Structure 1
Amino acid sequence: MKKQIIFLFTLSLLFALTFAKKSTKHKKSSSKKSAKKPEGSLEFSAAAGVIIPDASSENPIILSNAEDQPLCKPDVPTTPVKELKVMPGYDFFVLTNKIEYPRKLLMDRTNHLLVVSPERGLYSIRMDKCGNSDILQILDGTLYDERLGTGVAIYGQHIFVATETSIYRFPYNDGQHSPLADGVKVMSNLNPLKSTEAPDIVIDVHGSAFIPRSMTDIDDKVGSTHAVIKKFNFRDIPEKGYDFDLDGEFFAFGTNTQGLLGFDVQSQLWGLNGLPKDIKRIDVHPDQDLSVSGLAEELNKYAGPGNNYGFPYCYTEYSLEKISELSRGRGGQWGNPVFLNESFALDAYCLDETSNRVPEVPLPPKSYASNVHFYSGTFCSVGDLATLGTSVGLPCNWTNTPIIANHGFDNQPEGHSVVHIPFNDLGHKPRLDLDVDVILEASEPCGEGKCFAPYGLAVDQYGRLYISSDETNEIVVVTRYFSETAAREFTDKVDAMEDAMEDSKEQGDDDEKSDNDDKNDKDDDRSSKDDYKSNNKHRKSEAKKPRL
């Protein structure tokens, strides 16, 4: 596991390509194939036989065999409802449009896709690598007279499904393609105020379940304890189950989670915070609704128990420069006007990070960011537009960085896209100076009618990205263009770049040596001149002395 984590933090494009050259040299004389897993790899999933490069190995592998790639598409293509634009170097296809209102996606350990539809129920999609699929409803949408939520999670031999007010546990085996049965309620009182944000549920590798509660309406009676994330032990659930209000541990305050939670590869919890409507501060602008004209949605990392993330007292700026000279820049903090009064310096409170943890990434307003997914690096690829990719998977240098589904709002042009946010490897911090990578988006701004509205995200064992669009009832798969020659061509590019750098260094060394020689020659000339002047002066001085 430690090796895997090291890989996920250190694998970079240049490293991978430099290795490719060495690996080729080492293996020229051998054509023997490993009986188990190749040297220089880690087993990512024993059940599915998924392997990934091991960067701590002397020779980490690059997966670039044509026979390993899913280079096909469904036998019967499905045309997208709206024209879509994919990132250069990538392609996409519609897996299905047969599930109404698809939201959360969950890929189990056998590359088996589960889809939550709050309107209809939980669906199982069994598919081959080309995307030919068989769809089966395995749970009805009106579970025990409770409307289904969006939350679903797998832990051990069970699947946990959230309704609007409860969580149920069912026996489940990876790859199961049959109806769920023998459900048991394991949590109640989940969402007593019936927030429009139906609760999600995620469970880490240790069996700790994280469940958010959100607020729809805000007034001066609302506090940070009304919008929280709580942590529960799902390894050992009491016979009577949990009560959300009475049990569990407060993990984060002031969150007001929007959409779906996600873990990075270190099992750190991340989530999205939305904005209420009609936020006005007269000191900033007398008329503008700041929720649509400059305040940010938020991507937060929930670093540990007990921290406060600001809601409902504090908001984050995305950019107020166009409407106010008081702009504090991206990430600046502002007090909620509902709670402003003369007896308490709310802005100062919001600017104090011991009271209010600022977000890792301020997101554009009106995006309705709905899902954060961290890519684990499975079947990752290297390459560029000229070489194409060494696999159909997402880029290796996207490992442990977030992909965001921007659902957008009806009849609004913002959002309606899926983007990747660049991060630094060092410190795992976002590069806010760089633009996001737009992976998939609507070709035209959303207007009347149904729009491409991304909500759920998942990645399969081939590194392909799955996206649900709840308005168009689609699940779309994004895949990189593959070339059998990509590894060699890109390695040649790296070799050429290294040679150029080496030549430049040698030229620099030669120039420096030449400069030093010239300097030494000049110093010698100067020394000779100084000697001549000194001798000449000495002769003149001697000539002036009286002879005895």
Structure 2
Amino acid sequence: MLNRIFVIAAALEAVVLAQSCPSLTASYPAPSVASGYEARLIAQDLESPRGLLFDNKGNLLVVERGKGISSFNVKGDGSCVTLSNKKTVVGDGALNHGIEISTDSKSLYASSVETVFKYEYDAGKQSIKGQGKAIVNGMTTSDLVTRTLLLSSKSKNKLLVSRGGDENIDLSAVDVNGGDSQIRIFDPTKDGVNFTSGTTLGWGLRNAVGVAENPKDGGVWSAENNADNIERDGFEIHENNPAEELNYHGKLDDAKNTLLNQNFGYPLCYGAWNTSEIPSAGALQIGQQFAVAEENATKSDSFCRDDRQAPRLVFQPHSSPLDLKFDSKGENLYVTLHGSWNTEDPVGYSVSVVKFGADGQPTEPSTSTSALSPIIGNSNTTACPGSCFRPAGLAWDAKGRLYFTSDNTGEIYVLVKSGGKGLDESRTSATGAASTVSYSIMSIAVSVVACLFASFM
């Protein structure tokens, strides 16, 4: 009799769990998730969602291209997350990617192709006051239109803005004064500043969409999307070259930062991935820079090696890294790979992680081709990009769970460790330690068992 009671209780508990965690189903084959992780699709039907973040009230803010910024209330534990009460925070269809927020959540930042806006934000009401101020302008380009934003947590009043070039190979980027293909530093308390008036953190960066600051030491990193359709000496080498790059820019609060205002190569020099396919490669190694194109005939590989800053790591060409987020200890750097279009076989389309050491640097050498460890990716990349998810933005919540958007499918996923623990357990707040869902299930299960006992007494 007692065994029967426990069987019934377990069955009811399973029903309650299923009912408390509604499941969404993607229109494409379910993604593959690495051992030790869980992922769940938690939102659909968004308008090309890109950047996202949480305010200090736990609300999720998302940039929807062509629409503006939307907010959601977030509930649930582990991977059992539900988003509800969607609300328009900023109704501006020109906003297309970048989003940031101050520590006190009173200032919200977002970007269009031309402008960085600052809004007075109320997290309790999930609303802004007024129309916002244009704090950085003069950034319009016709090709690479994202403007990534990073508000430093280590250096007061420093807002980083990343701007790409005006075409695939933008030769005007050889002039630092032009402002193309650069990351610049601004004071967010000022407004109406032209992009070229900002302090140059780094230039020669074709399209450094991913930008992150290591919380351990304040080191700034960027992930560069490199050029397509590359040729060298008249030979096409674009299938496996040039590499995407992870670049190191030093620390913003370091007065002796030798990497400040360094040139990272573009449009004259590019990181090597498969050196066997590069004509006249000589002793060129993976991760070193080489010269390309007829316009660069007077530029040699030695110039690229000696006069330009090499990447710290390289990733597979055309994998398109879009966002970077460190965990709270600076031990893991999570990367969204938006995926390729300029390759015969699709690559990218995943969320991966790069291991970092106690010195604030990646554990892999600059010549590595295996620095990225995939966590979640499409199970069938042959259907990409048409019928698969394409990761874009990343955000941490207070429970150490990692969220990411998929822009082309209009979705949001949550990623946790197996068993529902946050990827970043050090980030977990004390109030988030107990699982309300688990308590609800257990209380129901206990009540059921008690009732069953009573019925047999």
TM-score (norm: length of structure 1): 0.64
Equivalents in 1 of 2:334, 2:19: separation in Å? Answer: 24
- Asked if 1:469 corresponds to 2:406, the answer is yes
Q: Residue 447 of structure 1 aligns with which residue?
A: 383
Q: Percent identity of the aligned residues?
A: 22
Q: Residue 132 of structure 2 aligns with which residue?
A: 184
**Structure 1 residue aligned with 2:229, among 278, 298, 312?**
278
Q: Note if contact 1:152-1:159 (Cα within 8 Å) is conserved in structure 2.
A: yes
- Asked if 1:458 corresponds to 2:398, the answer is no
Runs of 4+ residues over 6 Å off in structure 1: none
Q: Residue 38 of structure 2 aligns with which residue?
A: 91
Q: Residue 356 of structure 1 aligns with which residue?
A: 308
Q: Residue 267 of structure 2 aligns with which residue?
A: 312
**Structure 1 residue aligned with 2:88, among 124, 132, 137?**
137
Q: Note if contact 2:232-2:279 (Cα within 8 Å) is conserved in structure 1.
A: no
Q: Residue 20 of structure 1 aligns with which residue?
A: none
Equivalents in 2 of 1:455, 1:124: separation in Å? Answer: 17
Report SS of the residue matched to 1:100. Answer: coil
- Asked if 1:81 corresponds to 2:34, the answer is no
Cα distance change of structure 1 residues 263 and 414 upon mapping to structure 2, 3 Å threshold? same
Deviation at 1:483, TM superposition (A): 9.1
**Structure 2 residue aligned with 1:431, among 364, 387, 393?**
364
Report SS of the residue matched to 1:93. Answer: strand
1:13-412, aligned counterparts within 5 Å? 75-82=21-28, 83-130=30-77, 131-134=81-84, 135-142=86-93, 147-155=94-102, 156=104, 157-173=106-122, 175-205=123-153, 206-217=156-167, 218=169, 220-225=171-176, 226-234=180-188, 236-238=189-191, 241-245=192-196, 247-265=197-215, 266-282=217-233, 286-288=234-236, 290-303=237-250, 304-321=259-276, 326=281, 328-341=284-297, 344-352=298-306, 355-377=307-329, 399-410=330-341
Deviation per CA, 1:232-257, whole angstroms, max 9, x where unpaired?
112x315xx21223x22122121223
Report SS of the residue matched to 2:129. Answer: coil
Deviation at 1:480, TM superposition (A): 1.1
Report SS of the residue matched to 1:201. Answer: strand
Q: Note if contact 1:407-1:416 (Cα within 8 Å) is conserved in structure 2.
A: yes
Report SS of the residue matched to 1:115. Answer: strand
Report SS of the residue matched to 1:348. Answer: helix
Q: Note if contact 2:173-2:266 (Cα within 8 Å) is conserved in structure 1.
A: no
Q: Which deviates the most, 456-465 or 211-220? A: 211-220
Equivalents in 1 of 2:286, 2:68: separation in Å? Answer: 40
Equivalents in 2 of 1:375, 1:340: separation in Å? Answer: 40
Tell me the C-alpha RMSD between the 2 structures.
2.5
Equivalents in 1 of 2:322, 2:387: separation in Å? Answer: 17
Q: How many residues are paired up?
A: 376
Deviation per CA, 1:143-200, whole angstroms, max 9, x where unpaired?
xxxx112111112421112122112221123x44533231232335332323433212
Q: Note if contact 1:465-1:479 (Cα within 8 Å) is conserved in structure 2.
A: yes
| Structure 2, gaps ≥5 residues long | 1-16, 251-258, 422-457
Q: Which amino acid aligns with 1:315?
A: Y
Q: Note if contact 2:230-2:242 (Cα within 8 Å) is conserved in structure 1.
A: no
Q: Note if contact 1:121-1:140 (Cα within 8 Å) is conserved in structure 2.
A: yes
Q: Residue 50 of structure 1 aligns with which residue?
A: none
Equivalents in 2 of 1:373, 1:73: separation in Å? Answer: 33
Equivalents in 2 of 1:419, 1:181: separation in Å? Answer: 38
Q: Which deviates the most, 412-421 or 428-437? A: 428-437
Report SS of the residue matched to 1:293. Answer: coil
Cα distance change of structure 1 residues 237 and 427 upon mapping to structure 2, 3 Å threshold? closer
Deviation per CA, 1:342-384, whole angstroms, max 9, x where unpaired?
xx443211111xx21111111100101111111114xxxxxxx
